[in-house]
Structure formats: structure tokens, C-alpha cells
Structure 1
Amino acid sequence: MKTIFKKVTAAALAATMVVGMAACGSGSETASSSDSAASSSGTEAAATPAVTDNSKIKIGVSIWSSTDVLGSQCKLILDAAADALGVEVQYVDQGHVSEKVTASVEQLVAAGCQGIIICNSSDTEMTSAIKTCNDNGVYLAQFFRIISETNSADIYQAAKDSAYYIGAVHEDEPANGEALVNILLDKGDRDIGLIGWEQGDATWLGRWEGYKAGVDKWNEAHPDDPAQLSEPQYAGTTSEGGSKAAEALMAADPNLDALIPAGGGGDPLQGAIAAVERAGKTQDIDIVSTDFLPDLGDRLENGSMAGESGGHYCDPLIAFMMVYNAIKGNYTGFAGNFEDVSFPYLYVSSAEDYQAYEKYFVDQLPYTSDELVEMSNLDLSALKEAAKNISIEDAASRAGN
């Protein structure tokens, strides 16, 4: 199959794996490298021996929800990867409640997980998560999140120093926010209400930065046709929260012509849409958001959604592969490094756009079992390249279309 993924796989498998930031090595090399890394990170944890028997590998997933729209899609691809590789996976749903987020890491370590992937809520939670993993020799990677080097410099440095923290798989959230607000501005919307999920969440703050940047750029270029963005209403991660937030914004501003429920797994968006429908304003208020809904195609067609970003749900798959290879001893030398894995959003703004996404990401998973095994054999550099190239077009080419 002529695809970027296949080309990356072939190149990676043909290349000689070298020890380094994204190194692959034997079990003995891994132990030596891990000893050195643990020493340089200042942790007391002994080197974690490589696990060669996949049936003995257990990877934990700390997630806001494994049952809502986005979370259930993440679980599908992670379960498929676990089945393809013959490893065990365990989930803990923490609802982005800070104490539950930190407790989830302790719970997964106690359950015998050698590696954990986590979608945390705030950077501060990562202090405890990193310490727990350092103390127990458990590998850790973030998904849908990255620690802010600017706003959380001490936590970022702790992650970088750790012999067990691998890195973060995340999107360019400011760019995402700006792209979404531009969809609304291009449709003629000028009075935009904003719904966040949790104050202080790094991903939410990134999206908010993008929304504000888009509006600011518009106003600078169109001083006679200004747009405004409301202060956010916070919804948590529930449908009821999204509904109440939308109702509050509509009540506060009768001229509201657009809403951005910023995300939170999909449920807040569904609540906001329902509130707009109950108010009889579906044709008056355009809605864009992040995290695809299962009926997004219909909603783009009937006008209850104007556009959306997200939909890939493969972000945690890349974090899963990073942790898997660390447990196997294929990736080593984490202390002093912070692997920043950029991941692309998919954008749809029409029913036709969604049909292509639905064909390759909903009706079927974008990777077969054989392709998931091939992905697990990539070195870290090639894995990052594969992540960067995940797209509707790539999935279509892998399907032979």
C-alpha cells in the first residue's frame, strides 16, 4: 500500500536502531541506560528491567471517561492495539477531578501497570503523577495534554528530569481555537458565546488563547465590523453542564449568534446543542466545537453544527505505543528529555467533509491489527512522523482507495 505510514514503517524497519533519545536496544542496554537516567534524574527508583513477554505487560489508562463520545472512541483504538500486541490494558475514569486524577495513577501502579498514559486536567496534577511513577519505576506519557514549559516551569523540569516520564502527545490548541473561531467569523457571526470545561485546564487555556487571537485579528482587519467573544461559562464534562452554560449565555445576550463549547469529551457539546434546540434558535446560533459527535454528519446538514475539529481519537494510541516500547526496553534514556509529539486535528465544516471521516474513522478503525503491530516496531522518531501524518487521506490510501 502506497502510504506515508507504510513508507515510514519500511524506513524504520530497515534502519539500524541506535541508543539515544529515542533509542532501541537490548534488555541489557536498557538496564544500563535506565540506571544512568535514574541517577541523572535524582530519583531513587532502580532501573526497570525490560519486559520481553507481552502477556506480562499491563498498561494503565487514566482518562476523563471511557464511555462518553470521545472517550469510547479512544477505548476502541486502545483495545484494538492491546489485542494486536497481546498486552493487557486497564482503565480508570477520573472525570478530570484533580484528586481523582492523581489517585488514578496510584491505583494503576497498585494494579501492577508497568506503564501509564494519562489525560490529566491541570499541570499541577502531573507533579504527583510523575513522583508516583518515579518512585515505582513506571513509565508515563500524556495524551491530549502537554505540561506548559512557560506557565509550569518547575513541573516541566520535573518531567524532563524524570527517568520514567516519556513525553506528551498533543495538538496545537491555539491554532485549533483560531481555526474554529474563523469558521464562525466567515459565516458572519459576530457575537460569540464561549463554554469551557474546567478552569486552569492547560488544553482549554490553549484553545481559549486561539479563540481570542482569531477575534483580535478579525477586529484589527475589520474595524467597522467588529466581533466579540464572551467570558467563558464553565460546564465541567457533563451534558447538563453544557446545557446550563448555553442557557446562561443565551439569557445574558439576546443577540448571541454563535457558541463555542470548547470540548470536554463531547457531552458538554451535546447539552449545549439541546439547549439551543429547546430555545428554538438552531437557525440563529451557529455552533462549532472540538470532539466529534456520532451524528455530526446529520448535524452539519441540518445546521445544528457549523463545524468541528477533532475526530482522530488516535492521540492516545501514539502515547500507548510510546509506553509499550519503553516497557519492552526499546525506547530508553528519558532523563533530560521531554518528547513533544505534535498531532494534527481533523476539521470538518460540511456534511461532505464528515462523510469521508465517517468512512475511515467511524465505520472502521483507521488501522488494521497488522498495521498496529507495524506501528509498534517504529523507533520514536518514526512514530512521531507517523503521528504527524494521520489524516483522512492517509486512512483512505491505506484502504486502497
Structure 2
Amino acid sequence: MQGAAVHRLVTLLARGGGKEIANEDIKIGISIWSSTDVLGSQCKRILDAAAEALGVQIQYVDQAHVSEKVTASVEQLCAAGCQGIIVCNSADTEMTSAIKTCNDNGVYLSQFFRVISEKDNPDIYQVAKDSEYFIGAVHENEVENGKQLVKMLLDKGDRNIGLIGWEQGDATWLGRWEGYKAGIEEWNKENPDDQAKLSEPQYAGTSSDGGSKAAEALMSADDTIDALIPAGGGGDPLQGAIAAVERAGKVDEIDVVSTDFLPDLGERLENGSMAGESGGHFCDPLYAFLMVYNAIKGNYTDIAGNFVDVEFPYLYVSSPEDYEAYEKYFVDQLPYTNEEIVEISEMSLEDMIAKAQSLSIEDAAARAGK
């Protein structure tokens, strides 16, 4: 985010003559693809902790990344009396409706794991930027993520990579795909005698069964595939793809990398059913939640024209040793205590963004050991 834009979003005590809303009267809605799959349940865990720490109400709507359900979920949460909503998954086109609904109802809104593409959808981006209620987005650099995952595979000697997407047109998927292709192109340019290739994507949706069928289709179409990238979709497509590779007896022949850590990632890195993964934290929704919370409290104002773009760093693991420290500080316990969540909620927007961007395994370990 541009510094000038951050500074225009000043921190104030309260809106409307200094009259502050009590935390117990605040209700924040969560429109999420799933609150029960691998990544979604991790998101729910930290959001529940934030709601408890701040003493606010929270309400979930699972929308399965079905377009009409995404837009309906925002309407449902507004009707339920939420003063703020965070949303994911949400394609750019769906955000037009979501932002209008929130504008009409005076409800604050932010995205997590997603950002509206200013390049691909400038009109929608402008609608978001002009809104007095749409704060912005918390997400990762997906192009760089894609390049890093391809590099993991190429460094392991893989040259024929099968690709599994989840939903056509999803902004995060498109960013990752761009990164995968860029990684292959860079390698091939630098290694003319050792070329690599990437398949066209098979789409899996967000289910384990979809991931399994997509992996089977790729392996059936080309029995020389030596790597698979199930690009994402919450973790379930990845589990289905791994199961398909195991059923085919090709664990030793096909390296699998993906985004969004599985709960048994350490074991899978040990037994070879996964070669590496990116992701590792589920705190995007926490920061989107805290941005909305502060807007409701009146602490963040002058929102129109000041789109907040918070880019989170990914974590990467490619060995059991890499995963061990992550498990200790992100799985066995949350990376933030309730007290730290309260402290973050009281930060200025500038400081909150800096706090988000400093999150790492080393940062969590240092705070846990203080």
C-alpha cells in the first residue's frame, strides 16, 4: 500500500462525536468457502480466538465458492445485523454485488486471501476504491508463490508437471497460474538443453473427489508426468490428488507441491507423498477482521479513495525439518495469544500492516519465548 494512502486513513477515538460502540454490541460476519475444510477450519480457529479476545459476536456463512451463494451470503449477514463482514472466496465480479450490498446497508467489508485486480478489472477496482465501506484486502503475492513452487520441483529434477486448478476465473488461481508459467519460462530460457513443461489445468473445484479425478485424468493422459501441482482450493483437492497418486502406486515417481498446509504435512514430507508446500499461516482473515473491527469502532475513517492492500509473506517448507518449527508455533498453538490479538487491534493501520508483514516462523518463535 502507498504510504500516503495509509496516512490518510487516520486513527481516531470514535465516529460520531466520540461515542464509541461497546464491543459486546459488535457483530462481524464471515462469508467463507468452508469453515470445516483444512484451511477454513484453521481460519475459523483464529477468528474465534479474535472474537473471544475482543468480546465481539461472530457469525459464519459457508458459501462453497458458488457465485450466487457468495453474493447471497453478504446479503444474509447484512440482514442478520452484522456491522462488518469479511469475505473469501470472492471473484472480482462477485465483489461488485458484495460492495453494493454493504454500501446500501452501511456495513464495512474487507476481503481475505483475495484482492480485486486493478489491471484485469479496473472498473470493479474503482467501485471498491470509491466505497465508503469497503476497506480493502489482505492477501499474498500469488505470482511469486507460483514461481517458488515450480522452482521447488525443478530443483528436485522434475520436468513434466501436471496442473490442477480449482475454479476458472478465480483471481488467486489466475495469479498462481501466471507464476507457474513464469517459472517454467524462466527455466527453459536459461536451460535450452533441459526443457520443462507444464500441462493445461484440470479443474477440481474445492472437493477431495474433484482433486482425485483431476489427478487421475492428468496421469492417464500422460504417464510420464513426474510432478503435480494441485494449486489450492482449501486443502481438500490436494488430499484427493495425493490419494490418487497413492492408489496409482506412483508416490516415488510423482512429486506433489501445493499451497495451504495440511495438518499431516510433516508426515507427508517424511514419507514422500508431498515434496513441498507454501502457505503456512491462516492470519489473513485475522487482519481483515481487525480492519473491519476498527472501522466499526470508528478508529479507521476516511475510507473512500483509500483502498488498503495488505500483502502477506508466504512460508515455504520442503523437508520434515522445515515443518517442525512451523508445527510448534502455528499448529500446536496459534501464532498470536489473545493478549497479542488485543494489542494488534489497538494499533494504527500503519502499525497493523507492518505487524502482518513481519509474521514468520521466527517471529512467532521469538514472541513465544519472550
Distance across 1 between alignment mates of 2:190 and 2:273: 29
| Corresponding letter in the other structure for 2:75 | E
Distance across 1 between alignment mates of 2:13 and 2:275: 51
Distance across 1 between alignment mates of 2:329 and 2:34: 23
How far did residue 22 of structure 1 move? 2.5
- 3-state DSSP class of the match of 1:288? strand
Match of 1:23 among 7, 10, 33: 10
Would you say 1:399 and 2:364 are equivalent positions?
Answer: no
Partner of 1:155: 124
Would you say 1:53 and 2:40 are equivalent positions?
Answer: no
Partner of 1:176: 145
1:71-220 correspondence to structure 2 within 5 Å? 71-220=40-189
Q: Please say if residues 160 and 337 of structure 1, whose CA atoms lie closer than 8 Å, have aligned partners that are also in contact.
A: yes
1:390/1:316 Cα in 2 relative to 1: closer, same or farther (>3 Å)? same
- 3-state DSSP class of the match of 2:306? coil
Would you say 1:276 and 2:263 are equivalent positions?
Answer: no
1:63/1:223 Cα in 2 relative to 1: closer, same or farther (>3 Å)? same
Which runs of 5 or more structure 2 residues have no equivalent in the other structure? 1-5
Q: Where has structure 1 moved over 4 Å in runs of 4 or more?
A: none
Q: Can you list the C-alpha shifts for 1:134-193, whole angstroms capped at 9, x where unaligned?
A: 000000000000000011111000000000000000000000000000000000000000
How far did residue 50 of structure 1 move? 6.5
Q: Can you list the C-alpha shifts for 1:9-41, whole angstroms capped at 9, x where unaligned?
A: xxxxxxxxxx953212133xx348xxxxxxxxx
Distance across 1 between alignment mates of 2:27 and 2:19: 13
Q: Can you list the C-alpha shifts for 1:285-304, whole angstroms capped at 9, x where unaligned?
A: 00000000000000001100
Q: Please say if residues 50 and 328 of structure 1, whose CA atoms lie closer than 8 Å, have aligned partners that are also in contact.
A: no
How far did residue 132 of structure 1 move? 0.2
Distance across 2 between alignment mates of 1:384 and 1:50: 26
Distance across 2 between alignment mates of 1:135 and 1:84: 30
| Corresponding letter in the other structure for 2:182 | A
Q: Can you list the C-alpha shifts for 1:293-342, whole angstroms capped at 9, x where unaligned?
A: 00000000110000000120011000000000000000010111110001
Q: Please say if residues 9 and 306 of structure 2, whose CA atoms lie closer than 8 Å, have aligned partners that are also in contact.
A: no
- 3-state DSSP class of the match of 2:92? coil
Q: Please say if residues 169 and 341 of structure 1, whose CA atoms lie closer than 8 Å, have aligned partners that are also in contact.
A: yes
Percent identity, aligned pairs only, is: 75
Q: Please say if residues 7 and 350 of structure 2, whose CA atoms lie closer than 8 Å, have aligned partners that are also in contact.
A: no
Distance across 2 between alignment mates of 1:290 and 1:121: 18
| Corresponding letter in the other structure for 1:26 | L
Matched length: 365
Q: Can you list the C-alpha shifts for 1:112-134, whole angstroms capped at 9, x where unaligned?
A: 00000001331000000000000
Match of 1:251 among 220, 237, 240: 220
Partner of 1:310: 279
Q: Please say if residues 115 and 324 of structure 1, whose CA atoms lie closer than 8 Å, have aligned partners that are also in contact.
A: yes
| Corresponding letter in the other structure for 2:239 | Q
Distance across 2 between alignment mates of 1:313 and 1:117: 14
Partner of 1:234: 203
Q: Please say if residues 51 and 57 of structure 1, whose CA atoms lie closer than 8 Å, have aligned partners that are also in contact.
A: no
- 3-state DSSP class of the match of 1:124? helix
Q: Can you list the C-alpha shifts for 1:247-294, whole angstroms capped at 9, x where unaligned?
A: 000000010000000000000000000000000000000000000000
Distance across 2 between alignment mates of 1:359 and 1:158: 42
Distance across 1 between alignment mates of 2:271 and 2:9: 47
How far did residue 51 of structure 1 move? 4.7
